[in-house]
Amino acid sequence: MSTLTPSDNRALSLSDSQNSLLDKVCRYIAPNWPLDQMIAVNPFWEMRHIPIEDVSARLDTLCNANMLMPKDFYLQKYNTGMITDKHLADAATLLNSDFNKEQLLQALKIDVPLVDWHNIADLLDQQRNKHKMAWHDEITHQLSQFCAAHYQQLGPMLHRNDTQAPSELYRHWLTVIQADKGISIVMDERHLNGYFKQLPTCADELIALTLKTININNDSLELYAHSLLLDINGWASWLAYLRFQGQLYDTPTDEMKQLLAMRMAWDLVIWQYLANHDSATFKQLQSQWQQEKALVVERLHAHKLAQKPLWVWAKALELSFQYPLNDALQTATKAPVKNAQLQAVFCIDVRSEVIRRALESQSQHIETFGFAGFFGLPLEYQENGSAITRPQLPGLLKPAIHATQTHKDATLEASRQNSATWQSWSKSAPSSFSVVESSGWLYAFKLIKNTFLSKGDAKKCTPTDWQLTQNQQQLTLKDKTDLAQKVLTTLGIKALAPQVMLVGHASHTTNNLHSAGLDCGACGGQSGEVNVRVLASLLNDIQVRQALKTRGLTLSENTQFIAAIHNTTTDVITTYDAQLDDNLKKWLSVTTQTAQRERLVNIEPKLIDKSADEINHAYHQRARDWSQVRPEWGLANNAAFIVAPRSWTRSINLQGRCFLHDYDWESDGDFAILELIMTAPMIVTHWINSQYNASVNDNHKYGSGNKILHNAVGGNIGLFEGNGGDLRIGLAIQSLHNGDKWMHEPIRLNVYIAAPQSAIAAIYNKHTMVKELIDNHWLTLIRWGDDNTLERFENGYFTTVAPSTERA
C-alpha cells in the first residue's frame, strides 16, 4: 500500500489564504437548536450578505437544494387564477426583468438541462456497481453515526479517553474509524481500512494534505469546502449551534473545521485507495475531477440564468398575497378602543391574530396588544427541586435573570416529573411512534388513558411566588422596578384597564418530538407560562408599584394584571393566580368557541355544522391523540409582520397570516423601541418565515421528512428520519402538507412598519444585518404612513405603492 508517510504529512500546513477561505466557508452554516429548545431558524442566515438569487444558484449547483418551488407549482397557481398576468408583469418590473408573459409561461413548460457539481464520492458512485454500497451514502452514515455518539447527551456510546480534550472531534473520529474494520466489508473494498490508519492526527494537516493531493487551489477551495459541509449539513448545523452558544456564553468553541476535515478525509482515502488499487478507475476520476473544477463557475452561472424566470414567478406569488393586504391597509378604518374594561397582551405569533379577533369581538371595550412572547424578561427558569435550567427568551439572547418558585406544589411537581420521565425515555433511541412496541402494555395503557380518559387540559393553577436572582444575588426592589418600567415603556399602553391579561402561549400535543417547535419561539421553544406569571407578579407587587410611582409611572390600585396562557392547539385560554369575574369568564369561553370554529376549515372541516361542545371535544381529543401527526398547523402560512397600533388593523381579518407587534411612533421619541423591533422581533419573524419556506421548498434538504419515521438523537440533539442518514433539520412534511395540498405558501416575509421615513432609514443605515436582509431580497419592507399610504423601501429609497384602483 503506497501512501504519503507521516513525516510528509507533518510537513504540510495551511496557508493564511487557505485558512481565511476555510473560516469563511465554515461561517456559512446556520445554527439548528436542539429538540427541547427548538426554535425556527433561517437555514441560510449566515449567507444573508449575499443576494438570495445567488445563494439559491449556489446551493442548487453544489448540493441540488431548492430555494424555489417546482415549476408545476407556479403553473397551477397561474391556472387557478391566484397568480395573474398583472402579478407577473409587476413582478418582472420590480426585478428589472425583461421577461414577458409568454416567456415566463414557456419557462415553466421546458426543462433546461443543467449539470450540478459532483464531489469525488458522487463521481465514483456514477460508475459503481449497483450491488455495492454507494460511497456517498456510507460517508454520510459513518460521519452521522459517529457524531451522534460523540455528542450523545444521555451518556457516552463510544469509549473516549478521559485525557482527550473535548474539542478534539477530529482525533476522536480518527481513533474510531481506524478501529472500524467493518468499513472495508461494508464497502467491499478489502484494504480500505488501512488507508485511514495513515491519516494525519491533526485536522489542519489533514486538510492541507487533501488539498495538495487532489489538487484544490484557492480558486476552487471555497466551493469545494462548502459542498462538503452541505453533504453533512444537519451535523454542520448542530456544530454551528454549539459555536453560537459558545459565543453567547463566552465559552468559545468551534469544531466546524474539524467536521470539514473528517469529510475531507474520506475524499483523501478514496483518492489514495483508487490510485493504488484501481488505476483505470483512478485515471477516469482524475479526468472527471479536473473537469468539475474547471466548469464549476460556468455551472453556477447556468443555474442562476435558469432560475431567473422562476424568481419572477416567486415574486408574483408574493404579490398575490401582498396586493389584497395592501388594499386592506390603505383603506383601513382606525378603530381605537375607548374606556377599555379589559386589555389583553398577546405574543406577536400569527396564531394570536385569530384568538385576538375572537376576543375583541366580544365587546367594543376589549383592547388587545401584540408584544414579543417572552414579554421582555431575559429569564432562565429552574423548576423547584430540579437541577435543570431552561432559557425563556429568544435564542439570539442570553438570559440575565434566574427564576424559580419559592414553594413547591407537590401535586403539580409529581405530574411534571412523571411526564418528564416518560418524555425523556420516549425521545431516546426509539422513535416516538415505535416506543409503543418497545414498552409494551404499560405505555400503551398510558396512551389509551390520555386519549380516552383525560378530562381536559386544565392545570392546577395555584398562586406562586417567584425568586428572581442575577449573578446569584436576589434582585433588589430597584432591579425589579427597572425591569417593570422597561416592559411597561416598551409595551406603550397609555391608559391601563381595570384588568390587564398577559397572555403567553403554548401547545398541547402528545408523542411529538417537535413539540417545542409549536411552543413559543420567543421563549426559547418553551411555554410562555413562566414569563407571564413572573411579570404579572412583578406588576402586581405593591412595592414595585410604589417605586414606579416615584418615577412618574402610576398604576391604578384598580388595575389587576392577570397571567394567562393561550393553548394554540385547543384555543383555550387558562388564567393563573387570579380570581375571574363572571363577565371575563364568559368572554374567554366564547372567545375559545369563536376561534375554534374559525380554524375548523383547516383542522376538521367536516365538523363545521357540529355544536360548540362537540367541536371543543374534537380539539381536545386531537391534542391527546398519540397517533395524531397534525395536532395543529403551528405558524404555517405566515407571510407578514405588521408593526403598528392595533387600532389600525382591528377592522381587518388577517386570516392568521400576520405577526402583529403594537407600536406607536409618536410615543417613541428617540425611536429606540423601533430600533429594538427591527433588530429583534423582525429578525425572529424572518427566521420563522424562512424556516417554513425552506422546509416547503426542499423538505429533503431543509425539512425533516416523515414525522412517523422520526428517531431522537442523543436525547435532544435532533432527529434522524429512520435510523440513519444526516441529522435532519427544519419541519416535518406533516407540519406543512395536509395530504392534499401545502398548508404553507412559501412567500418571503412582508414587513409593514408604521413609522417616519427618517426613522426607518436611520436604523437601516445603522444595522448591517437589517440592511443585508432588505438589499439582498430576503424580505420586503413597506412603510405604512399615518394617512394609510404605503411606500416600498429598497436600497435605501422609498417608492410609493399604488392603490389597487391605480394598478389596473
pLDDT in tens, 133-167: 999 999 999 999 999 999 985 455 655 554 444 55
Mean pLDDT of 51-64: 98
Asked if residue 495 belongs to a domain, the reply is yes
CB burial of residue 2 (10 Å; 0-12, 13-18, 19+): exposed
Q: Give CA–CA dist 176/108, Å, rounded.
A: 49
CA distances from 692 to 42, 80, 225, 528, 637 (A): 9, 23, 27, 22, 8
Q: Give CA–CA dist 393/414, Å, rounded.
A: 26
Looking at the structure, tell me whether residues 462 and 507 fall in a common domain.
yes
Asked if residue 639 belongs to a domain, the reply is no
687 grid coordinates:
427566521
Between 130 and 762, the higher pLDDT residue = 762
Looking at the structure, tell me whether residues 107 and 204 fall in a common domain.
no
CA distances from 381 to 38, 184, 386 (A): 16, 49, 10
The pLDDT-based confidence of 700 (bands split at 50, 70, 90) is very high
Q: By percentage, how much of the chain surpasses pLDDT 70?
A: 89
Asked if residue 222 belongs to a domain, the reply is yes
Q: Tell me: pLDDT of 40 over 60.
A: yes
Contact at 8 Å (CB) between 111 and 310?
A: no
User: What is the reported pLDDT for 408?
Assistant: 66
Looking at this protein, which amino acid is placed at residue 449? Answer: K
User: Among candidates 315, 393, 381, 355, which has minimal Cα distance to 684?
Assistant: 393
Asked if residue 411 belongs to a domain, the reply is yes
Q: Which residues of 64-82 are buried (b: 16+ CB within 10 A; e: fewer)?
A: ebbbbbebebbeebbeeee
User: Among candidates 355, 371, 314, 319, which has minimal Cα distance to 750?
Assistant: 319
The total of other beta-carbon atoms located within 10 Å of residue 39's CB is 26
Looking at the structure, tell me whether residues 485 and 507 fall in a common domain.
yes
The continuous run of DSSP H or E covering 263 comes out as helix 256-277
User: What is the reported pLDDT for 1?
Assistant: 47
Mean pLDDT of 250-258: 93
User: Among candidates 491, 495, 796, 455, which has minimal Cα distance to 624?
Assistant: 455
Q: Tell me: pLDDT of 422 over 50.
A: no
The total of other beta-carbon atoms located within 10 Å of residue 421's CB is 10
pLDDT tens, position by position, 707-748: 999 999 988 999 999 989 999 999 999 999 999 999 999 999
Question: What are the start-end ranges of the E strands in 337-491?
Answer: 342-347, 366-371, 379-382, 389-391, 401-405, 466-470, 473-474
pLDDT tens, position by position, 79-117: 999 999 999 999 999 999 999 999 999 999 999 899 999
Query: Is the pTM here over 0.85, yes or no?
Result: yes
Mean pLDDT of 242-248: 94
Of 589, 607, 632, at which residue does a domain stop? 632
φ/ψ of residue 499, rounded to 5: -125, 125
Residues 6+ apart with CB under 8 A from 71: 107, 108, 109, 310
Mean pLDDT of 616-624: 94
Question: Hey, which residues does 566 pair with through a beta bridge?
Answer: 505, 573
Looking at the structure, tell me whether residues 63 and 151 fall in a common domain.
no
| Span of 393-397, 588-592, 683-687, 749-753 with lowest mean pLDDT | 393-397
Q: Tell me: pLDDT of 9 over 50.
A: no
**Antiparallel, parallel or unpaired: β 560-567 and 573-576:** antiparallel
Looking at the structure, tell me whether residues 10 and 71 fall in a common domain.
no
DSSP assigned state of 476: P
Looking at this protein, which amino acid is placed at residue 643? Answer: V
Mean pLDDT of 678-697: 98
Looking at the structure, tell me whether residues 16 and 71 fall in a common domain.
no
Residue 93: domain span? 53-115+304-324
User: What is the reported pLDDT for 549?
Assistant: 96
Looking at the structure, tell me whether residues 14 and 58 fall in a common domain.
no
Of 250, 278, 297, at which residue does a domain stop? 297
User: What is the reported pLDDT for 16?
Assistant: 97
Q: Tell me: pLDDT of 364 over 90.
A: yes
Contact at 8 Å (CB) between 496 and 348?
A: no
Q: How many residues does the chain have?
A: 808
The total of other beta-carbon atoms located within 10 Å of residue 806's CB is 8
Sign of the torsion formed by the C-alpha atoms of 724, 726, 729 and 734: negative
Looking at the structure, tell me whether residues 466 and 571 fall in a common domain.
yes
Mean pLDDT of 572-583: 92
Mean pLDDT of 408-434: 42
User: What is the reported pLDDT for 152?
Assistant: 86
Looking at the structure, tell me whether residues 504 and 601 fall in a common domain.
yes
The continuous run of DSSP H or E covering 711 comes out as strand 710-713
Asked if residue 81 belongs to a domain, the reply is yes
Q: Which residues of 528-561 are buried (b: 16+ CB within 10 A; e: fewer)?
A: bbbbbbbbbbbbbbeebbebbeeeeeebeeebbb
Asked if residue 448 belongs to a domain, the reply is yes
**Antiparallel, parallel or unpaired: β 790-794 and 797-801:** antiparallel
Q: Give CA–CA dist 708/456, Å, rounded.
A: 25
Asked if residue 57 belongs to a domain, the reply is yes
Asked if residue 199 belongs to a domain, the reply is yes
User: What is the reported pLDDT for 384?
Assistant: 86
The pLDDT-based confidence of 429 (bands split at 50, 70, 90) is very low
Between 535 and 494, the higher pLDDT residue = 535
Looking at the structure, tell me whether residues 15 and 61 fall in a common domain.
no
User: What is the reported pLDDT for 803?
Assistant: 87
Sign of the torsion formed by the C-alpha atoms of 701, 703, 704 and 706: negative
Q: Give CA–CA dist 683/518, Å, rounded.
A: 18
User: What is the reported pLDDT for 584?
Assistant: 95
64 grid coordinates:
441540488
Average pLDDT, the chain: 90
Phi and psi based region of residue 456 (left: phi greater than 0; alpha: psi -120 to 50; beta: remaining): left
Looking at the structure, tell me whether residues 26 and 61 fall in a common domain.
no
Q: Provide the domain count of the chain.
A: 3
Q: Tell me: pLDDT of 460 over 90.
A: no
Q: Tell me: pLDDT of 795 over 90.
A: yes
Residue 417: half-sphere exposure toward Cβ, Cα within 13 Å: 12
The pLDDT-based confidence of 444 (bands split at 50, 70, 90) is very low
Contact at 8 Å (CB) between 447 and 626?
A: yes
119 grid coordinates:
464531489
Q: Give CA–CA dist 325/323, Å, rounded.
A: 5
Of 632, 657, 673, at which residue does a domain stop? 632
**SS3 label, residue 212:** helix
Looking at the structure, tell me whether residues 85 and 220 fall in a common domain.
no
Mean pLDDT of 466-473: 95
The total of other beta-carbon atoms located within 10 Å of residue 448's CB is 12
